[in-house]
A and B are shown apart, each in its own frame.
Chain A
Amino acid sequence: MVKRIVSFCIVIFGVLLLTFLLIHLVPGDPVEVMLGESASTADRMQLREDLGLNQPLYQQFGSYIAKLAHGDLGQSIHTKIPIIELIKTRYPATLKLAALSLIIGLVIGIPLGIYAALKANHWQDFVVTIISVRFSAMPAFWLGPMLMLVFAVWLGWLPVSGMESNSSIILPAVTLGFGLSAILTRMTRTSLLEALNEDFIRTARAKGLSEKTVIIRHALRAALLPIITIVGLQTGSLLAGTVITETIFSWDGIGRLLVESIEKRDYPVTQACVLVVALSYVLVNLCTDILYRFADPRVKFSHD
């Protein structure tokens, strides 16, 4: 566990350092952004000094880390809002959207994958494969507006975009969930088909176990590891924010905040968003590792 915590800290430190250095390499300057083009050189230098931007990079990074250790993420250059407040409002929105998308992806993807595997090489399998390929080929910037057109404009069932009502989340979640379900369908089908051809399945059937038990308790469990891996990776992506979907649906999540901050060279916000995203990835990876253990007791953590 100690080893894991140490590696966690190293990853986060690496992300912070890399982000800090990359941001300083990208063309653009916060002082130029704040003062515009008409400010005098003296005013620029003064503000640069006030913000500590005239210090060497290692000193700037040191004071950034020191502030971070005290929970101070700074404030947005443009909006002057404390960044912690921005994260507090934006991240829950991303969490909510990611959770529902994941549920939709799992609820549709895994059963369809099982169904396709059980009906392998039958017409049902081909239909499922065609549907999943179709869904995975539909980009969010196309699927989103199509769903809006059908369910919001033509049928009038759901709002086009925004976050005012509870139903606002359905279309963005479906947009993301469909893509995820397509990946999960194909992964589940492949993994389950492999598992169904294993010797232990033949043994289980020979023991006289019911087909339901064979599939759910033996085959599906054996097929779970790659599915968990994919779900883990996809969850990480969802928690990092799905910029296109969030933008199309005016969903105020962390991904949109990150991209907007990069466009506007709002460096403190960019750094904070990257930190949150990195933390999300690390935590999801940790959860994935734990789930491996539950799915397959043969998987052991290093200290075991």
Chain B
Amino acid sequence: MCNIENIIDSMLKKILLILCVLLLVACEDTSSETSVLETSEIHFAIAQAPLNLDPRYATDAASERVNRLIYQPLVDFDTASKPAPILASWQVVNNNNYRFTLIKNRALFHNQTPLTAADVKATYDSLLQLKDSPHTAEFANIESIQVEDENTILFSLKKVDTNFPAKLIIGILPKDLIQQGHDFSHHPVGNGPLKFVSWQNKLILQRIKDRQIISLQEAKDPTVRVLKLLRGEADLIQGDLPPELVKYLESKPEISVKTSVGANFSYLGLNMQDPLLKNLKVRQALAHAIDRQAIIDKVMVKNSRIAGAILPPEHWAGNVDLKPYDYNPMLAKKLLLEAGVKLPLKLVYKTSTDAQRVRFATILQAQMAVAGIALGIRSLDWGTFFEDVKQGNFQLFGLTWVGIKTPEIYAKAFGSQSLPPNGFNRGRYADAELDKLLANEDWQAATARIHAQLPYIPLWYEGQFAAFNKDINNYSPKPDGDWDDLAIITSSATISNHAH
């Protein structure tokens, strides 16, 4: 037995030695980690890394948010979401022609070449020629693009489009690099306030005006993003956290949390070809069976608000007169009985696997049960879920419209000409009366009609928030979740480092 004890002792000593070595390696490296943390970068931990930094291809929210900082478009939107000049002002020459004049004090491209009308033409010409860009179809109405002089460019359209300037929101690329087939997707060159530095495990950008380095690193898990912020590995996080984590951060003295109202519209999509959901009373019952305010109060971040339409009331085409459907499960039950539905009404709700979406689904299930609706939940991976939505393979689904700025969305989402695959009318809603209103661009009447007919159930505009350490200044979350304030954000830690 003595031998066995010796063997065990020897083994334990070896394990102890190995663990000590591991610990030493860890401690040694921690010092280098600390030194990394002490550099002047501002670290932004994001839930989803950008996929493609070429504005002609980017569609995911992260890429579009970064591209707004790297590139500049001809046009952007003001606080009321009206198109406003960024690189160019415009005049309507006639119904089919728009002349854009570049502003005088425009920034150079990051490769130090000037931005001219030729670059604008090259950008949109290349976009029209691409066969695999999701944005090309948006510009199919362009007949020709003419450079009139270095600062002036004329867009001729095939048919009248009064909203055309609002479409020119693609970042402008340098003509010579387009011709060389430059890889903008991974080495973007624009003339925005931030320039691209590198992109390995994290995306590193540098602000032009003061050379401030800003790094964006993906941390998918919400808890991990919070831990990174607390550890000091991240200076800033924004959005995509469950409300309990936001509340937890609010309780931390070393962390600041800023919230703002949101403009991204969450809704319950309905399949209008479903025999049950065709009935308006059933749709009204669903609208009355949801206690939106309770959900907002209990499981959403501050500044979330009940929605009436895709565009919020402060939008120039928003409708302030839409009254939300009040929570009234008894009325909902009555409407179902009037519709001749046998209770409980069995419906299937499809959603993604996102934890917060599944949580909403279970709450809706519980609330609807009171109104006599038995809601079955199908939580599917994003690809399968979205494909089902596009194919019309659903009864109910939950989605959010992100970053919608123009009222044309109503025609795309509810116009009878926009049934998939020709548009976003995923609920397969067809209403001649609404089509007329949309064609006349009578947005107030159109949104009122949609609100009354309920081809979808409006839910809420989720509030936006950002959490950052106390050193961070000049950063506020935007209603659509954009990261525009990275152009002005400062860190007092950085300033003190520079001073030293």
Contact = CB atoms under 8 A, between A and B. Distances in A.
Interface of A: 26-29, 32, 34-41, 43-44, 46-47, 50, 78-81, 107-108, 111, 114-115, 118-119, 145, 148-149, 152-153, 156-167, 170, 210-212, 215-216, 247-250, 252, 262-265
A47 B333 CA distance: 49
A118 B4 contact: yes
B218 interface: yes
Given A27-B387, A211-B3, A160 B227 contact: yes
Given A37-B420, A111-B15, A148 B29 contact: no
B228 interface: yes
A170 to B, nearest CB: 5
**Is the contact region of chain B dominated by helix, strand, or loop, or is it mixed?**
helix
Interface of B: 1, 3-4, 6-8, 11-12, 14-15, 18, 22, 25-27, 29-30, 32-33, 36, 51-52, 54, 57, 59-60, 131-134, 136-138, 140, 183, 185-186, 201-202, 217-221, 223-224, 227-228, 230-231, 233, 381-384, 386-388, 390-391, 393, 412, 420-424
Given A80-B52, A145-B227, A167-B33, A248 B134 contact: no
Contact of B36 (A119, A145, A164): A164
Nearest to B391: A27
Contacts of B183: 80
B134 A35 contact: yes
Contacts of A41: 421-422
A250 B220 contact: yes
B227 A157 contact: no
Contacts of A164: 33, 36, 201-202
Given A35-B137, A38-B134, A39-B134, A160 B233 contact: yes
Nearest to A34: B132
Contacts of A248: 220-221, 224
Q: Output the residue of A114, A145, A153, A250 with the most chain B CB within 10 A.
A: A250
Contacts of A36: 59, 134, 137
A284 B250 CA distance: 49
Contacts of A250: 201, 217-220, 224
Nearest to B2: A211
A248 B384 CA distance: 23
A248 B227 CA distance: 11
B383 A160 contact: no
Contact of A156 (B12, B231, B387, B423): B231
A110 B137 CA distance: 61
B137 A28 contact: no
B52 A78 contact: yes
17 contacts: A28-B384, A32-B421, A35-B133, A35-B134, A38-B412, A38-B423, A80-B183, A119-B8, A153-B230, A153-B231, A160-B224, A161-B228, A162-B202, A166-B32, A167-B33, A212-B6, A263-B382
